[in-house]
Amino acid sequence: MGVRFTLPSGEKPFSVVNVWIPIQSLGSVNVIVFKKDAGEVDLVDAGMYSARSVHDLLAKIKSRIRGKIRDVDKTVITHFHVDHMSGAAILREVFEPTVFIGIGELELPLRSGSPDVFVDNILTLYREHGVPELVLESIRRSHPVFRTVLAYRAFSSLDLKPIYPGDILRLGEASYRALPAPGHTPGHIVLESLDGTHAIVGDTLLERITPSVILYDEEHDPLGSYLRTLEMLAQKNYLVAYPGHGNPIISPAERARELIEHHMRRLSEVLELLKRRGSATAYEVAMGMKWRTRYSSWEEYPSVEKFFAIGEALAHLKRLYEEMKVEVIERGGVKRFRIL
């Protein structure tokens, strides 16, 4: 139902409620509930644009505050992914909360344009990097964004308030500093308690899985951004971090260092693969990388998992390119990578 945490500073407790979402691979998302006056709450993240998801959220809030919900005053969104933000569009119709999101997410093409066009643009990028047409078409048929276009559009239509780096946000009886944490998304934010004891980290840190980091255009270096975010978190002395999925993370600095090491190993793996092959497309790199999965071969991977694997491979190749360890060559209109 939810776990109740008492902040070390002695401020009022908040709750992390585990909310059902219609994404089988995840199952649920964490929404953090700050109790204010009788029946009033502030939220961090909002679940999904789904009657069942929002019903589950409201039922668990009522149980937590032991009474009726009189108002949802503020809703702060950690990042622009459908499982974290789109429930705010339904809450807006009932409670009219003020909805805040990082300025970097407000500038995201996924919000400013149609989300299906955004994914189509990524698939165009994938085509340039050697992904076969049959694979692209299979991804397009099965990618969840095409089933959640209405959710993205409903959220994007809200009067969203920007959060800037360093902004202080009052949530319930506690105050938090907004820190930019790009990587998983370009405008992801982390909320740091003013006493430095804990942080609300969205999908920047997860306890058991590695947050996805994919390349969505040629202009950005998402893995470079994410590694800098992890280095920042590794320097913090938080006792605990509250992620968007799963359990609280004890010693989050250690978890940040583990994720840095994971990506360093990944970069080495990609270099070794290129060394063996001489040159390779991003698609060939994705097929050759070792993924933690229950499937025995690339052909068995569901199309959506292929989408993320290709995007992750591209993110690592882009980082190596920025580090001047690989170069890009074109053959027949398809881009290939080789070691410098």
Residue 148, in any domain of the structure: yes
Residue 207, in any domain of the structure: yes
Range of the domain at 27: 3-261
Angle of helix 252-277 relative to helix 222-234, nearest 10 degrees, comes to 150
Q: For residue 190, what is the domain's CATH number?
A: 3.60.15.10
CA separation for the pair 296, 294 (Å, rounded) = 7
Residue 318, in any domain of the structure: no
Tokens of 242: 């509250």
Tokens of 323: 């580090």
Residue 125, in any domain of the structure: yes
Other Cβ atoms within 10 Å of 81 Cβ, number: 22
pLDDT number for residue 299: 93
Residue 221, in any domain of the structure: yes
Residue 16, in any domain of the structure: yes
**How many domains does the chain divide into?**
1
pTM of the model: 0.93
Angle of helix 87-95 relative to helix 149-156, nearest 10 degrees, comes to 50
Per-residue pLDDT of the chain (340 residues; tens, 9 = 90+): 444 444 444 444 589 999 999 987 889 999 999 998 888 999 999 999 999 999 999 999 999 888 899 999 999 999 999 999 999 999 999 999 999 999 999 887 555 557 778 888 899 999 999 999 999 999 998 888 877 888 888 898 899 999 999 999 999 999 999 999 999 999 999 999 999 999 999 999 999 899 999 999 999 999 999 999 999 999 999 999 999 999 999 999 999 999 999 999 999 999 999 999 999 999 999 999 999 888 889 999 999 999 999 999 999 999 999 999 999 999 999 999 999 9
Residue 70, in any domain of the structure: yes
